[in-house]
Structure 1
Amino acid sequence: MSMSVTPSVSQARIPSTHAVTGVRTEHADPTCWVATSRPRVSWRSVATGSDWTQSAADVRLVGDDAVIETVRLEGPASIFVAWPFAHALPEREARWIQVRTADADGIWSDWSVPLEARSAALELGRWQANPIASGTGAGIFRRELALRGPVRRATLYAAAQGVYQVSINGVDVDDHVLKPGWSSYDLRLPYETTDVTPLMAAGANVIGIRLAGGWYSERYNRHAHDEPTWGDTPSVACLLVVEYEDGTSEDIVTDGSWRTSHGEIVHTGIYVGESVDARLEPHGWPSPGFDDADWIFAVETEWQATPTPRIGPPVRAIEELPAVSAHVSPAGATILDFGQNIAGRLRVRVRAPRDTVLTLQHAEVLEHGELALRPLRAATATDTYVHDGVDRVWEPEFTFHGFRYASIDGLPGGTNPADVTAVVLHSEMTRTGWFDCSEPLVTKLHENVVWSMRDNFLHLPTDCPQRDERQGWTGDIQVFAPTAATLFDVGGFLASWLTDLRLEQEERGTVSFIVPDIVKRPRPPAAAWGDAATVVPSVLYERLGDAGVLADQFESMKGWVEQIRAAAGESRLWRGGFQFGDWLDPDSPPDDPSAAKVPAEIVATAYYAKSAGLVARAARTLGDEASERHYAALAEEVRSAWTDEYVDAAAGRVRSDAATAYALAIVFDLVQGDERVALAQRLVELLDESDYRVLTGFVGTPLLADALTSTGHDDAAARLLLQTECPSWLYPVRMGATTVWERWDSMLPDGTINPGEMTSFNHYALGAVADWLHRVVAGLSADAPGYSRIRVAPRPLAGLHRATSVIDTPYGSASVGWAETPDGSLRVEAEVPANTTAVVDLPGADEFAVGSGRHSWTIVDARGDPAEPIGVADRVGNLSS
């Protein structure tokens, strides 16, 4: 079979005009603050023509009234460019960055719109604020101050072991939620930096703080009597730097002179929910003139870690959902349906007599018409509110829940759905990936994956947002990281989480199952979970072009592989010890999710080979030739040991004969040549025997479709993808799911919930297939770090008639779409961003390269009979533009 390629006009270079857009420092952040005084700079170019490349760039630093410095950079580099200026960003003062670029003909663009940048980094030793606590858990704090003159600038730095919000004169300093989030409190405390100049008033001012325990004082491990991992008493510290017009300044810090009281929050927790008695609110407390004489003095405390600037994005209220329906349950409760499983909380308009008590309960699904509360385990996820008689809108502040359904008990006359809103909470990330195809169930699957990611990216990547867990499981994000980096810009978010992984690993000598680690002691190494240490940084480099994260995490990456090497010994086979294995294999019993068809040692040694190879690749990127040779040789030794021990070459099988073993062998490149062909064929046979139902758990599932399409078994992949019976990706969709389930059968066909003790309806791990939808089905992937070179390689599957992927890459929007035409041919269209190129691999054609711009190709049936329907295998013939 052969195809000819004729360039269209769009593939010939056309002169263009161009402009610079999307200038940013470090990772995208909705604020102007950056965690370092010498941040990396990125920008994009947009061009009207084709084949546009950057030949040079001018970058300039601007002060209040003048250009401070201009630097010319030769070449095409435009993402994560090292700070080019001699002048660093000063503390607190605004600077603006502008970029202009030259094309291949030396024609320059205009200067970009200025980007404001401020350094959140404090000078060493500048953090002098003392942490303060109320001594009673949740509390409120206040401090009055009088400004001594006109204010030029006021900057607030604040951190907490717990969750907090700061107000000045009764106005919250920002709209961030549950800040500063969850970190390894004894090793790292992020602080928020906020320009509060507009909130400062002449004369008397009041700084108010609302504080609760949040994750810091949560009782994990499902039992209320468990001791909190970090401590019972939350604490907060603030440093307010006030700079006056006369050139002087003063620091206002938290200390024992601040006043504190309990406020209206009676109790609050991440798992149990929040209890508020509005009758207890000391009205006017955050404003000047309030009498706090009966308040007590705050208690000064100490922190082990010195606060450092926030790296990841803040959490905000991102979206609001009205109730789409309401019904009265068999037990008589009015249950509201918000149409979407979310992480968030309810906002309720309360019009009721004083002393009215509202009880809010939350659940992901209904069982027999009632809220299904059993999957929550010990997380009661219940908010209560005692009304003070004043009509108001109330929303709990220091908790969140995972839910689609909710009931509100206690309102006189019942619940009016119009008075209730579901508030969606998650870290503020820019959406970058969209997928659509002709099969609505597959498109819905993709959107369910997006929602599960949104619901579980709340300060850190959690497993689920609803039950008594909500923790940063390393195995879940390890398998999901490529999908996450496709759907959203997660650079800052995951770099922040990786910092905690690295710090905990350095202190305890191992990568924990959970980060932050609620056990706080060394754990045994576990394959696929601990491998997050190597996989997640590698994904951020591959998808975002961020070599800096590889440099930051390189010792961590090596440390993980060295720990495996010690466990495996000279045999290079990682056997024994604790392993999760192919967690939640569909054949595992409800009460034993680790009982998989594939032996855990097969998974462990395969990941050993993969991680050693990733360290070698990282070393090559970082210019460490000795480490590259060492770990490349180790990876080959482990690969060889794996095949020698587990592959029966004569029979063309892996000795465990489990689908996950075959997927690992193929996708991790453990086998080549005839062995690879034979193992792929056996994988297809296993799937055929199961009527193309999924045979794999957390480890095997993200690899399964790739194992098929990378070995030419597209039809088998199509049948697997489009299967709607359990276990399959589309079974939950057919059952009405709006997020990805933890178990293939979290809900049984009759509407009852899986009898297992561990069941969630919002886990993203099994949704890792969404990355394959983009890369293979639609055919858009990164062929070089950061999408500097794009791969256009659609693989139209039987049963689909069109598919499109759009990805907002670091260089700009890229897209690939294909569709069957009425005459039976296949039309492929692609958009390649400026300053990048693409490798094009179309069905039946040799690879070829194109530059930036819009491109389209038509694949014509070789039989010359376009009226006759053709299958995927027949889409060959002449390629015309």
Structure 2
Amino acid sequence: MDEISVVRFEHRDDPLGIGEEHPRLSWQVAGRPGWRQAAYELTIGEEFFHVESADSVLVPWPATPLEPREAREVRARVIGADGEVSDWSDPVTVERGLTLNEWQADLIEPAHDERGPAALLRRSFTARGDVVRARLHITAHGIYQAELNGERVGDHTLTPGWTSYRHRLRHQTYDVTPMLRAGENAIGVQVADGWWRGRVGFVPEWRDTYGSSLGLLAQLEIEYTDGRRQVVATDDSWRSATGPIRKADLYEGETYDATRERPGWSSPGYDEREWAGVRRGERDLATLVAPTGPPVRAVEERTAVETITTPSGRTVLDFGQNMVGRLRISVRGRRGSTITMRHAEVLENGELGVRPLRTAEATDRYILRGDLDGECWEPSFTLHGFRYAEVGGDYDDLDAVAVVYHSDMRRTGWFDCSDPMLNQLHENVLWGMRGNFVDIPTDCPQRDERLGWTGDVQVFAPTSSYLYDSAGLLASWLADLSADQTEAGVVPLFVPRVDFPGPFADPAPTAGWSDAAVIVPWVLFQRFGDTGLLRRQYASMRAWVDGLTDLLGPASLFDKPALQLGDWLDPAAPPDAPWRAETDAHLVATAYRVHVADTMARIAEEIGQEADAAKYAELADGVRQAFHDEFVTQNGRIAGSGQTGYALALEFGLLPDPDQRARAAEQLVRLVREKEHKVATGFLGTPVICDALTSAGAVDDAYRMLLQTEYPSWLYPVTMGATTIWERWDSMLPDGSINPGEMTSFNHYALGAVADWMHRVVAGLAPGSPGYRTLLVEPRPGGGLTWARTAHRTPYGLAEVAWERAAGELRVRVTVPTGSTAVVALPGAERQEVGCGQHRFVVPYRDPADDPR
């Protein structure tokens, strides 16, 4: 009989403390080949529901709303078109968190709030009776780590995470029932600066982005077997102090003085007479929200592959992989000795290459207690981007492991092929995403920046949505984007918004970056089938598009403001002016304006806004004509354009005349060949160049570009030993020296957006309809590859495409999950539609790359 998975709620694997009163439900079915769902049944608490529907992804909550704190057990089963009924899924409990009126806690701040050290806050309390349920609801101004009776609560890191704090502050809910004991108990919480008041961004002196004082808001709720309920909340009875963490900063690092530890500080019976009190702070509790995505967690540990002695005599550990995390050390030495750990992504001249960090120190320090049996330590409130760690100090012996951290998203995408360098490129894309999806999607994880640049995630969203279930994380980030828009609808360059002095103090309309407001929700709809997200973000989308129309007019070029980032970091751009790309920045901006208006028309139609759909379609046509009048010649050439302009014109539908389109395609291919298939595009051109070549009938040229190993190319960094995607095509020069440019990150995911083309075209798996309800299986072999395979865990289940070519044949194996169908389009064969199950196809095929040239 068919098997049904455990029910999921919204985009969360852990439904404890969920924020929705009507959470949508999803499940997957492992059915027989050709099986189709005709209905489903749900038990929600004591309620039973029978629904005639083939849907199984984000289906509406049919029961009465969840009340705050209410928990209900949910099970599902499905009924096939043949009438057979599955077994019930395993039960899962969904529990709603607190709402505004349920909070009894006050925000508290340390009475003596020292700059640098993490604050300790604690309170003792008595549990009188047998506990049946206990929940800790908690958040902070800063980042926190809670303990109950001397044990750490949960395994989250850098909580509550980074949001647009003035508008949205996440709170977490933990089940602490097993941690309570009858009688005396104690709760203790450490709070550090984090994004709240610590260093943020590239202005070295920038602090106090959101506030100048640390704060804690916590509410421990205890339910007893006899029905009594007890609340232990933050109030003026709490006590505060500082402890061994003397400095904790996301960019600078952490300093921990073990000689200043306070043993038992979060346990009952601790003497807190020397501790200070607390004062009440201010927080609008209406801004508290439940998380929609996973927390940051430790996800992996790596040991050093080599210990290096540098020319200057320093000891450097090479972990073999550029990553984001921190060291955990086991060390033995004299009391008061200091261990210093410096981090960097690369070596230069045999020494730690720290110049790309700019002003970020990325240095942790541990001052030993002097235990004879040794001591173990890992920082709590910082993360570093690094492959290499320099360890120095006075110690007898020391071991270190690197602990990898990122948002604990479910892995959903895989790729493999016959070319080892392409496999390494894909692995680099994967690690680049892992290092930059740390609560929000950042540009880079190592230097004094680490901001949520909107343009980066705009181009990378299709890839991120394939590799990991990033829907919950990006939905939260989009809520911050909405909150941070200006009154005129302008989207900041980075979200959460930080108003640094200078050009960033007043956000300006920026094509490709501000456009994330429309493009990212559309990508998430295509990949996860979430119409609700489109509706939630629709006001934000309209504010951006309509505000830009008010500024520019309905049928005009996007030529205001004067400075656009354009095809950022095109290889031809001067090092000190990365926006001066080969393709005119206002051409790029106008192309994006057409694309976004077209996308808005499709979104409006999808959610039933017919009048808006017509309005935005008309806007797209008007701007398209303005683009044509300004940039397109009679014979299909595009003025002021390099490869990026042609690629955008072809992919964004800017050339409706078929003759002009054909000539533009010819011109693009000519430009690519003139560059000997080396990359000549930047942040906005790179994600579309291979698709443009493919649609132009030049898939072989796309492969030759993908497989190029000379600079600038995707594989040049691979030849240089890269394990993540670089910000610049030549972040490291051929002689092993670091690019002298100011922006030289070795972990930027934007240029890794090509992995989406690898999934869809090289391996051949794409969404044919929203949420992969229909798969499009259309592999385009080339480049001399003899085989490729990919797998993606869609909302309906695991989909796979694997192909190999041998003896003049292309042999393809396709796995279609239950609930989906697939359209299979193979070279030289008729398209056909197949249902769920495994399918095999064989067609005659010869790769042009095998022919002598």
TM-score (norm 1): 0.93
* SS of equivalent residue, structure 2 residue 553: helix
Hey, what does 1:318 align to over in structure 2?
299
Match 2:114 to one of 136, 139, 146: 136
Indicate if the aligned counterparts of 2:554 and 2:619 stay in contact, CA closer than 8 A: no
1:504 aligns with 2:481: no
Indicate if the aligned counterparts of 1:186 and 1:303 stay in contact, CA closer than 8 A: no
Hey, what does 1:851 align to over in structure 2?
835
Match 2:617 to one of 632, 637, 646: 632
Indicate if the aligned counterparts of 1:841 and 1:847 stay in contact, CA closer than 8 A: yes
1:406 aligns with 2:383: no
1:370 aligns with 2:354: no
Alignment root-mean-square deviation, CA: 1.5
| Structure 1 residues 446-491: Cα deviation after superposition (integer angstroms, max 9, x where no partner) | 1110000000000000001100011100000000000000110011
Match 1:830 to one of 797, 811, 814: 814
| Structure 1 residues 750-796: Cα deviation after superposition (integer angstroms, max 9, x where no partner) | 00010101110000000000011011111100010000011010100
* SS of equivalent residue, structure 2 residue 593: helix
Hey, what does 1:72 align to over in structure 2?
50
For structure 1, the residue ranges without an aligned partner over 5 or more in a row are: 1-16, 63-67, 862-868, 875-881
Hey, what does 2:663 align to over in structure 1?
678
Hey, what does 1:791 align to over in structure 2?
776
1:81 aligns with 2:59: yes
Hey, what does 1:563 align to over in structure 2?
547
Indicate if the aligned counterparts of 1:136 and 1:233 stay in contact, CA closer than 8 A: no
Aligned-residue offset at 1:852: 1.2
1:51 aligns with 2:39: no
Hey, what does 1:346 align to over in structure 2?
327
For structure 2, the residue ranges without an aligned partner over 5 or more in a row are: none
Q: For 1:220-259, what aligned pairs fall within 5 Å after superposition?
A: 220-259=200-239
Match 1:116 to one of 93, 105, 111: 93
Counterpart AA for 1:88 = P
Hey, what does 1:8 align to over in structure 2?
none
Hey, what does 1:866 align to over in structure 2?
none
Aligned-residue offset at 1:563: 2.0
Structure 2: how far apart are the matches of 1:656 and 1:227?
A: 42
* SS of equivalent residue, structure 1 residue 153: strand
| Structure 1 residues 563-594: Cα deviation after superposition (integer angstroms, max 9, x where no partner) | 22123224421103131111000111222211
Hey, what does 1:699 align to over in structure 2?
684
Hey, what does 2:461 align to over in structure 1?
481
Match 1:295 to one of 254, 275, 284: 275
Match 1:468 to one of 417, 433, 448: 448
Structure 1: how far apart are the matches of 2:166 and 2:317?
A: 41
Indicate if the aligned counterparts of 2:781 and 2:847 stay in contact, CA closer than 8 A: no
Structure 2: how far apart are the matches of 1:426 and 1:859?
A: 43
Aligned-residue offset at 1:219: 2.9
Answer with 101-110 or 515-524: which moved more.
515-524
Aligned-residue offset at 1:307: 1.6
Q: For 1:602-617, what aligned pairs fall within 5 Å after superposition?
A: 602-617=587-602
| Structure 1 residues 327-374: Cα deviation after superposition (integer angstroms, max 9, x where no partner) | 100111011000110110000002111011111100000001100000
| Structure 1 residues 514-555: Cα deviation after superposition (integer angstroms, max 9, x where no partner) | 101111854111000001100110011000001111010001
Structure 2: how far apart are the matches of 1:213 and 1:225?
A: 15
Indicate if the aligned counterparts of 2:17 and 2:172 stay in contact, CA closer than 8 A: no
Structure 1: how far apart are the matches of 2:20 and 2:70?
A: 13
Aligned-residue offset at 1:117: 1.1
Counterpart AA for 2:543 = G
1:335 aligns with 2:319: no
Counterpart AA for 1:841 = A
Hey, what does 2:644 align to over in structure 1?
660
1:711 aligns with 2:696: yes
Hey, what does 2:759 align to over in structure 1?
774
Structure 2: how far apart are the matches of 1:503 and 1:200?
A: 39
Hey, what does 2:579 align to over in structure 1?
594
Match 2:69 to one of 82, 92, 95: 92
Name the CA shift for 1:649/1:855 in 2 (closer, same or farther; >3 Å). Answer: farther
Indicate if the aligned counterparts of 2:784 and 2:849 stay in contact, CA closer than 8 A: no
Aligned-residue offset at 1:635: 1.3
Counterpart AA for 1:199 = M
Aligned-residue offset at 1:507: 5.7
* SS of equivalent residue, structure 1 residue 643: helix
Name the CA shift for 1:872/1:723 in 2 (closer, same or farther; >3 Å). Answer: closer
Indicate if the aligned counterparts of 1:659 and 1:686 stay in contact, CA closer than 8 A: yes
Counterpart AA for 1:102 = I
Indicate if the aligned counterparts of 1:839 and 1:849 stay in contact, CA closer than 8 A: yes
Q: For 1:529-608, what aligned pairs fall within 5 Å after superposition?
A: 529-577=513-561, 578-608=563-593
| Structure 1 residues 851-876: Cα deviation after superposition (integer angstroms, max 9, x where no partner) | 11111111125xxxxxxx753699xx
Indicate if the aligned counterparts of 1:154 and 1:196 stay in contact, CA closer than 8 A: yes
Hey, what does 2:426 align to over in structure 1?
446
Answer with 681-690 or 498-507: which moved more.
498-507
Answer with 638-647 or 373-382: which moved more.
638-647
TM-score (norm 2): 0.96
Name the CA shift for 1:178/1:232 in 2 (closer, same or farther; >3 Å). Answer: same
Hey, what does 2:160 align to over in structure 1?
180
Hey, what does 1:5 align to over in structure 2?
none
Answer with 490-499 or 211-220: which moved more.
211-220
Match 1:102 to one of 68, 79, 95: 79
Aligned-residue offset at 1:309: 1.2
What percent of counterpart residues are identical? 49
Indicate if the aligned counterparts of 2:125 and 2:186 stay in contact, CA closer than 8 A: yes
Aligned-residue offset at 1:279: 0.7
Aligned-residue offset at 1:412: 2.7
Structure 1: how far apart are the matches of 2:575 and 2:283?
A: 42
Name the CA shift for 1:274/1:470 in 2 (closer, same or farther; >3 Å). Answer: same
* SS of equivalent residue, structure 1 residue 434: strand
Answer with 717-726 or 632-641: which moved more.
632-641
Counterpart AA for 1:382 = T
> How many residues end up aligned between the 2 structures?
838
Answer with 337-346 or 664-673: which moved more.
664-673
Structure 2: how far apart are the matches of 1:439 and 1:873?
A: 15
* SS of equivalent residue, structure 1 residue 442: helix
Aligned-residue offset at 1:694: 0.3
Name the CA shift for 1:691/1:604 in 2 (closer, same or farther; >3 Å). Answer: same
Aligned-residue offset at 1:607: 1.0
Answer with 762-771 or 578-587: which moved more.
578-587
Answer with 639-648 or 158-167: which moved more.
639-648
* SS of equivalent residue, structure 1 residue 526: coil
Structure 1: how far apart are the matches of 2:492 and 2:831?
A: 43
Structure 2: how far apart are the matches of 1:711 and 1:687?
A: 12
Indicate if the aligned counterparts of 2:359 and 2:447 stay in contact, CA closer than 8 A: yes
Indicate if the aligned counterparts of 1:36 and 1:119 stay in contact, CA closer than 8 A: yes
Structure 2: how far apart are the matches of 1:504 and 1:690?
A: 41
1:397 aligns with 2:380: yes
Q: For 1:9-48, what aligned pairs fall within 5 Å after superposition?
A: 17-30=1-14, 32-48=16-32
Structure 2: how far apart are the matches of 1:393 and 1:215?
A: 27
Structure 2: how far apart are the matches of 1:339 and 1:411?
A: 26
Name the CA shift for 1:506/1:223 in 2 (closer, same or farther; >3 Å). Answer: closer
* SS of equivalent residue, structure 2 residue 124: strand
Hey, what does 1:275 align to over in structure 2?
255
Structure 1: how far apart are the matches of 2:653 and 2:849?
A: 26
Aligned-residue offset at 1:89: 2.8
Counterpart AA for 1:616 = A
Hey, what does 1:865 align to over in structure 2?
none
* SS of equivalent residue, structure 1 residue 653: coil
